A and B are shown apart, each in its own frame.
Chain A
Amino acid sequence: MMNEGIAPNHLMIAPILVPLVAGAIMLFYNDRNRQTKLVMGLVAVGLTFLASVELMAGVKSAGEQAGTVVGLYRLGDWPVPIGIVLVLDRLSAMMVMLTALLAAPSLIYAAAGWHGKGQHYHSMFQFLLAGVNGAFLTGDLFNLFVFFEVMLAASYGLMLHGSGPERIKAGLHYIAVNLAASLFFLIGVALVYGTTGTLNMADIGRALHWLDDAERMLFHAAAAFLGLAFLIKAAAWPLCFWLPPTYGAASPPAAAIMAIMTKVGIYVILRLSLLVLGPDAGPSAGFGAPALMIGGVLTMGFGMIGILGTPELTRKGGYLAIISSGTVLAAVGFAQAGGGPGMLGGALYYMIGSTAAISAFFLIAEPVSRGDGGNDDAPAEDVADPLSERWAPMGLDTVEDMTAPASTRTVSWLTMAMCFALVAAMIAGLPPMPGFIGKFAILQGAVQDNLHASGALPVILWIYAAMLILSGLGALIALMRFGIRRFWAEEGPTPRILALEVIPVVLLLAMIALQTVRADVLLNYTRATAVALLEPGIYRNAVLAGAQDVRAAPAQNSAPDPTAADDADQIEEGGE
């Protein structure tokens, strides 16, 4: 084995193990010790963040090809195409760090009373983080499925946290949709295994070259099934109907961390479409790219109409998540079709900022619309009044400290208004917010790379650019209209806002501000990420270094006998 010499980097498994262990330990404590569990959860998130900083420092290195070092961790230490691996590159390091950064504010917000509205909030939260980080780090398809299910199972619990008819109704749809999507995922995995004989993502790309026409057709069917499953999770139109009611009904801290879950779907599409079906995939190159481009643009359009059409603020958040998904998905489609790294780099930068902003939006939506008994059919359960929470149907009326916040300090309504305005500006993409910088970088990359290549911009790119600007405008109009009505035109006493409900939003806003101030550093990072993603050879070589191709070469390809002998040796080696 060539990579025997490299000492295994055990830190790579920390983002999965730390939340998993923390969540498991929490189960041993009585659920009444919520403050203890909160502290444990924050410590676990902090450790995960430190690990992600260290991991990110590890993948960045100026000397290497495209400035990327791909880390490999062999679970169980079996040779690569046989054993299962964790793979760390720039993209996964970035996503792991983003998860940790979004988790901390969400946990702090839960301390304002939400973690007392049901059982085992903190454990489910940690399991969700373990699933998300696992999905980002895993190097093979079936473990991706397992981590997806870990994440989804935890998210079902978090989604239903707090109970109440609205949540149960939305949860029923959410679970049914995701179970069906998981079955699509399994069909796709089975077809991939049946055609390529491997589930290692890097190895699939290599195996693709050996496929004959019939097998390639089956492989395309597999890619379509997988794409369908991930597009449901990434909430692309028309598969996004479940998202606004679900996220609108979920408790704010749960919705805030679930903002990263749509990005998990996008991450997988990004990873697989560029690694397996990227520009160098021979006859399969660019498979699905038109679907991503057109689907992404339609998703943005749907999100824009939705955000203008719905009066309820939490549902607006769901449509914002849809717009953000559409923007990144279309950019992935363009990159897959050869649109160049500039655009993808901008889209990744936009994704970080918009995910943080959507997370902040969900946290802010509930306090802002609190006591807003006006025109909308707002959440049926009144948050301030524990009596209106209906526990009886779930048999959960044993829950004791319903709304006891960790601290009772309050802040003024004006602070809330300022936060709302800043989050709205970020989401609408007003300068100097990262939303603006990201969209600008996308457009700049699109124009530069495409003019270089062909001298003219394709029509779909014009439509995308128009939609990029229009969706921002739509979000701006919708949020301004709401803000003016809520903050200026509203009469009567203002609701009581806990400081604990504003601190997380301020943290997220600080993150967004930092993203603006250090935009050059972050954009350089995401651009290098895009360059590395568009050269799947880097990832593939790093994962498969020293691994023999165990497949029998097809007849027309003169199969060298020594390889076959090596293969048998290797399998025996692995079997011992």
Chain B
Amino acid sequence: MELILALAIGVLCGSGVWLILRPRSYQVIVGLCLLAYGVNLFIFAMGRLYIGAAPIMPKGGFVDPTAYADPLPQSLVLTAIVISFATTALFLVVMIAARGVAGTDHVDGRERKP
């Protein structure tokens, strides 16, 4: 599981960075999304990986720490997902506006002449 998770994070972040460095705003936004997914998985992984353990305390008391997943990274991921989703949506609006103003989806608003 560790290997799969690490590979997933690496692939998502790598593709995200590559796409961010592209000159088309559509690619940039997809890159930012992929990067955000990679980072969210990374936060999740930083809370250590548990199999079959719930992040919820049973009624009536404290549980054995080995059977208890760390809830904090999950809440952090949740917050991060909400925030990155909202800001990406905002970026999309600006991107559409820029496309309307410039008539091109080049990030600088104009194509470089070959």
The interface of chain A, by Cβ under 8 A from chain B, is: 142, 145-146, 149, 152-153, 156, 160, 163, 165, 168-169, 171-173, 175-176, 179-180, 182-183, 186-187, 189-191, 193-194, 199, 390, 392-394, 568, 571-572, 575
Nearest residue in A to B80 (C-beta to C-beta)?
A: A186
Q: Is the CB of A168 within 8 A of B87?
A: no
| B88 interfacial by beta-carbon distance below 8 Å | yes
| B114 interfacial by beta-carbon distance below 8 Å | no
A550 → B minimal CB distance (Å): 12
Q: Is the CB of A152 within 8 A of B87?
A: yes
Given A568-B62, A572-B62, decide whether A186 and B39 contact each other with a Cβ distance below 8 A: yes
The interface of chain B, by Cβ under 8 A from chain A, is: 20, 25, 28, 32, 35-36, 39-40, 42-43, 46-48, 57, 61-62, 72-73, 76, 79-80, 83-84, 86-88, 90-91, 94-95, 97-98, 100-102, 107-109
Say which residue of A156, A173, A190, A572 sits within 8 Å of B42 (CB atoms): A190
Nearest residue in B to A169 (C-beta to C-beta)?
A: B109
Q: Is the CB of A180 within 8 A of B20?
A: yes
**Bound-state Cα–Cα, A125 to B70, Å:** 37
Say which residue of B35, B62, B102, B107 sits within 8 Å of A173 (CB atoms): B107
Q: Report how many A-B pairs have Cβ atoms within 8 Å.
A: 103
Residues of A within 8 A of B86 (CB): 153
Residues of B within 8 A of A163 (CB): 97
Residues of B within 8 A of A390 (CB): 101
Residues of B within 8 A of A571 (CB): 62
Residues of A within 8 A of B102 (CB): 165, 169
Enumerate 22 A-B pairs (CB-CB under 8 Å) in ascending A order: A145-B83, A153-B87, A156-B90, A168-B98, A171-B98, A172-B98, A175-B87, A176-B28, A179-B32, A179-B84, A182-B83, A187-B39, A187-B42, A190-B46, A190-B73, A191-B46, A193-B72, A194-B46, A568-B62, A572-B61, A572-B62, A575-B57
Q: Is the CB of A193 within 8 A of B87?
A: no
Given A182-B84, A190-B73, A193-B76, decide whether A394 and B97 contact each other with a Cβ distance below 8 A: yes
Given A160-B94, A183-B35, decide whether A193 and B46 contact each other with a Cβ distance below 8 A: yes
Residues of A within 8 A of B91 (CB): 172, 175-176, 179
Residues of B within 8 A of A176 (CB): 20, 28, 32, 91, 107
**Bound-state Cα–Cα, A390 to B102, Å:** 12
Residues of B within 8 A of A193 (CB): 43, 46-47, 72-73, 76
Q: Is the CB of B94 within 8 A of A172?
A: yes
Residues of A within 8 A of B98 (CB): 168-169, 171-172
The 7 closest A-B pairs by CB, nearest first: A194-B46, A393-B100, A190-B43, A190-B46, A165-B101, A169-B109, A393-B101
